[in-house]
C-alpha cells in the first residue's frame, strides 16, 4: 500500500496486488476481471430468451426492454456495445448472435460514428420466437431528463451512476418489477450507492477472487 502525494491537494492511496497490477477494495478484485463480459453474456440471455442449460438465474418468458448506461457515449460504444454487437463493421461477432439481431432496425446515435442508439433483438420462449426485445444505450452526460418516462425491464450501469440517474432508473423498472445491474470499480470510495448496495440484503452480490480470473496469468 503506497501513499501518492498530490502537492497538498489531497491523498491517493494505491492498493496494488503484487505481480498483477490489480487492487482490492472491499474484498473485491477490481480490474480486468471480466465484469463487462459477464454482464453482457447475461444481458444476451435475457434479450434473446435463450439460456444455457446450467443457468440458475431469473428467466424472461417474454421480450424485454433493456437500457445500458455508462459514463460517455464513446466509452459505452467501445465497451458494452462492442461486447454485445461486435466491433464496428462486424455486427454479430459479440455475445448476441447475428441471427438474433434485426440489423435493419438499428438506429445510430447522430454525431458518434458506429454508436448504436437502439436495436431490436429476436426473443424466444421455449424455443419459439415471440417478438422483439429492445436494447438502448445511454450515457451519464445525457443527464437525468434523458432517462425519464419509459418503463424498462433491465438497466445495466457500467461504472457507478450519478445518484439522480440511479434514482430515476429505479422508477423506470418499478412498473415491470424489473432489475438493476451494476458493474463498476468503486473508484469514488464508500459512496452512498456503494454503501446501499453492500448493506441491502435484497441486493445479490457476486465476488471474484484471483482464482476466478483464470485469463490473467501470473506474468500478466
Q: Which residues are catalytic?
A: 159
Please return the burial class of 218, using the count of CB atoms within 10 Å of its CB with bins 0-12, 13-18 and 19+.
exposed
For residue 47, give the C-alpha cell.
434479450
**Bridge partners, residue 158, by sequence:** 183
For residue 84, give the C-alpha cell.
454485445
* CA-based nearest residue to 151, from 136, 161, 163, 131: 136
SS3 letters for 11-40? EEEECCCCCCCCCEECCEECCCCCHHHHHH
**Orientation angle between helical segments 163-174 and 192-199, nearest 10 degrees:** 40
DSSP 141: G
| Contact status, residue 47 vs residue 83, Cβ threshold 8 Å | no
Give the up-direction half-sphere exposure of residue 208: CA atoms within 13 A in the CB hemisphere.
20
Distance CA 155, CA 43 (A): 10
Amino acid at each position: 500500500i503506497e501513499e501518492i502525494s498530490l502537492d497538498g491537494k489531497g491523498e491517493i492511496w494505491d492498493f496494488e496486488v503484487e505481480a498483477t497490477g490489480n487492487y482490492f477494495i472491499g474484498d473485491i478484485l477490481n480490474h480486468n476481471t471480466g465484469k463487462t463480459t459477464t454482464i453482457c453474456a447475461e444481458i444476451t440471455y435475457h434479450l434473446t430468451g435463450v439460456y444455457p442449460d446450467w443457468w440458475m438465474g431469473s428467466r424472461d418468458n417474454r421480450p424485454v426492454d433493456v437500457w445500458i448506461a455508462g459514463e460517455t457515449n464513446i466509452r459505452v460504444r467501445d465497451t458494452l456495445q462492442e461486447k454485445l454487437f461486435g466491433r464496428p463493421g462486424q455486427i454479430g461477432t459479440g455475445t448476441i448472435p447475428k441471427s438474433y439481431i434485426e440489423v435493419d432496425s438499428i438506429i445510430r446515435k447522430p454525431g458518434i460514428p458506429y454508436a448504436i442508439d437502439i436495436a431490436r433483438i429476436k426473443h424466444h420462449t421455449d424455443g419459439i420466437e415471440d417478438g422483439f426485445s429492445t436494447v438502448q444505450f445511454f450515457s451519464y452526460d445525457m443527464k437525468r431528463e434523458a432517462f425519464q418516462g419509459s418503463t424498462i425491464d433491465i438497466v445495466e450501469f457500467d461504472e457507478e451512476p450519478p445518484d439522480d440517474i440511479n434514482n430515476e432508473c429505479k422508477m423506470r423498472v418499478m412498473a415491470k418489477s424489473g432489475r438493476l445491474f451494476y458493474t463498476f470499480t468503486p473508484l469514488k470510495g464508500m459512496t452512498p450507492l456503494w454503501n446501499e448496495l453492500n448493506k441491502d440484503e435484497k441486493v445479490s452480490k457476486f465476488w471474484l477472487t484471483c482464482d476466478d480470473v483464470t485469463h490473467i496469468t501470473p506474468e500478466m
